[in-house]
Amino acid sequence: MSERPKISVIGTGYLGATHAVCMVELGYDVIGLDVDESKVASLRAGKVPFFEPGLPELLGKHLDSGRLRFTTSYEEVAEFADVHFVCVGTPQQKGSYAADLTYVESAFRSLAPLLTRQVLVVGKSTVPAGTAVRMQEVINELAPCAEVELAWNPEFLREGFAVKDTLTPDRLVFGVHSEWAESQLRAAFKPIIELGTPVVVTDFATAELVKVAANSFLATKISFINAMAEVCEATGGDVVALAGAIGLDDRIGKKFLSAGLGFGGGCLPKDIRAFIARATELGVDQAVSFLREVDQINLRRRARTVDLGLELVDGDYTGKRVAVLGAAFKPNSDDIRDSPALDVASSIGAMGADVIVYDPEANDNARRAHPELKYADSLDEVLEGADLTLLLTEWQEFRVLDPGVVAKKVKALRLVDGRNILDPAAWREAGFAYRALGRP
Ligand code: UDX
């Protein structure tokens, strides 16, 4: 196989599209596949089907270079590539905590029968431990070439920083069964390894677990500080000052200690639930039972935010105009999967409020998922005539809000800062009834 293997990327969602484009940026020839024709058409036309800073520019640059193309044909992919990255989604199953592996199964079952020469198939999707072994069995059963091998290489990119996290990751994790597989992965990540990026070479189970363990740790850190916020609320303490103080201990660190409305998105919530489900199957549910608490603390923050707003409107949302700032699960993303902001907005809507939402990027996705809510095209429009304002996603545009300017637009000076990004004193001085999570 060549020193610079040809790459395929199967699945062009947040992970796959970014991986495909970044591999071209690193100098590889890449083909991206998706079974969704509209995604392929959009990528071919140079349009990234989701919001990710920096990605559209790189896509445009590399479509022009001729080293990147997109297809719906598995035959084309099998013909072209030496290393195939499987990047399809593993959402939470309906009615269960477990991960839905339908897309992973289907990708492997579609690709394997077409593999007529020695290639490496690399799983990147976040999966329950044990999946890689099963996928190797699928390959063994269906691939005409007996030398096709599997590796597992989890991905740690964050939305909003996906390009940077892919081009300069903190580490690479290679779950492999042979030196050949390791050498192929080293060839596929050569420019990144040359930067001095640590490479952890391990077995399948550990590689699968690194990803869920990392996400579980991050979710736990967030829920820890949000649990402290609950205690602050009962004692008059200030969780922001508390987090600042404990974060100065470099064993704890400041990162991922922002108390507020908690975590959402396509990864942390479903990954901790899938971990609980898998651990239960393995008979080690006690080892991760704390993750149930992590999930519950996280969800309680949403309920608390609804209650804080309710207190400000004197116990009755009926007919109240509620301006919701933010719909995406975090800033610099248009992803609304398990978004705390939208969850709160729709709960308040169901309690009779006239809810109007504004997000700089996620309005279209939010409108599709929650057509029952109203949407504004600008900050000015959402604030106009509001009886209550809720800041639920910390976009830069909201961080720099001027209380004096907001006061002139809204009907009543009432605000809940669900992300602890505003200065309480400034808002109170401007006359606002200001409430926040975990702060007096
Ligand atoms: C996460 C992991 O960070 C990434 O490594 C993995 O590959 C995928 O899952 P992502 O879902 O993009 O990435 O978002 P992240 O930046 O981790 O934030 C997750 C959620 O936690 C967001 O809703 C964010 O608002 C919330 N969060 C984060 C907090 O509430 N407090 C914090 O201190 C940090």
Confidence of residue 205 (pLDDT cuts 50, 70, 90): very high
Query: Above 60 in pLDDT, residue 240?
Result: yes
The pLDDT tens digits of the residues spanning 398-436 come to: 999 999 999 999 999 999 999 999 999 999 999 999 999
The total of other beta-carbon atoms located within 10 Å of residue 83's CB is 24
Confidence of residue 3 (pLDDT cuts 50, 70, 90): confident
Query: Above 70 in pLDDT, residue 1?
Result: no
Ligand 1 contact, 50 CB (< 6 A)? no
Check 22, 87, 232, 267 and give the catalytic one.
Answer: 267
Query: Above 60 in pLDDT, residue 51?
Result: yes
Confidence of residue 349 (pLDDT cuts 50, 70, 90): very high
Q: Which pLDDT score is estimated for 430?
A: 98
> pLDDT over 70 for what percent of the chain?
100
Q: How far is the CA of 318 from the centre of ligand 1 (A)?
A: 33
CA nearest 373: which of 313, 322, 414? Answer: 322
Ligand 1, residue 393: give the atom nearest the CA: 25
Mean pLDDT of 61-82: 96
H/E/C letters for each residue in the chain? Answer: CCCCCCEEEECCCHHHHHHHHHHHHCCCCEEEECCCHHHHHHHHCCCCCCCCCCHHHHHHHHHHHCCEEEECCHHHHHHHCCEEEECCCCCECCCCCCECCHHHHHHHHHHHHHCCCCCEEEECCCCCCCHHHHHHHHHHHHCCCCCCEEEECCCCCCCCCHHHHHHCCCCEEEECCCHHHHHHHHHHCHHHHCCCCCEEEECHHHHHHHHHHHHHHHHHHHHHHHHHHHHHHHHCCCHHHHHHHHHCCCCCCCCCCCCCCCCCCCCHHHHHHHHHHHHHHCCCHHHHCHHHHHHHHHHHHHHHHHHHHHHHCCCCCCCCEEEEECCCCCCCCCCCCCCHHHHHHHHHHHCCCEEEEECCCCHHHHHHHCCCCEECCCHHHHHCCCCEEEECCCCHHHHCCCHHHHHHHCCCCEEEECCCCCCHHHHHHCCCEEEECCCC
Contacts of 289 (CB under 8 A, 6+ apart): 276
CA 296 to chain centre: 19
Q: Which pLDDT score is estimated for 302?
A: 98
The pLDDT tens digits of the residues spanning 98-140 come to: 999 999 999 999 999 999 999 999 999 999 999 999 999 999 9
- Catalytic site includes residue 145: no
Which residue is closest in CA terms to ligand 1's atom 5?
A: 156
The pLDDT tens digits of the residues spanning 177-192 come to: 999 999 999 999 999 9
> pLDDT over 90 for what percent of the chain?
99
pTM, to two decimals: 0.96
Query: Above 60 in pLDDT, residue 2?
Result: no
Average pLDDT, the chain: 97
Q: Which pLDDT score is estimated for 10?
A: 98
Q: Which pLDDT score is estimated for 25?
A: 97
Which residue is closest in CA terms to ligand 1's atom 13?
A: 158
Mean pLDDT of 216-228: 98
Q: How far is the CA of 263 from the centre of ligand 1 (A)?
A: 6
Q: Which pLDDT score is estimated for 130?
A: 97
Paired tokens of 389: 């304002």
Ligand 1 contact, 265 CB (< 6 A)? yes
From its phi and psi, is residue 324 left (phi > 0), alpha (psi between -120 and 50) or beta? beta
C-alpha to C-alpha distance for 175 and 148, rounded to whole angstroms: 15
CA 319 to chain centre: 34
Contacts of 201 (CB under 8 A, 6+ apart): 174, 176, 182
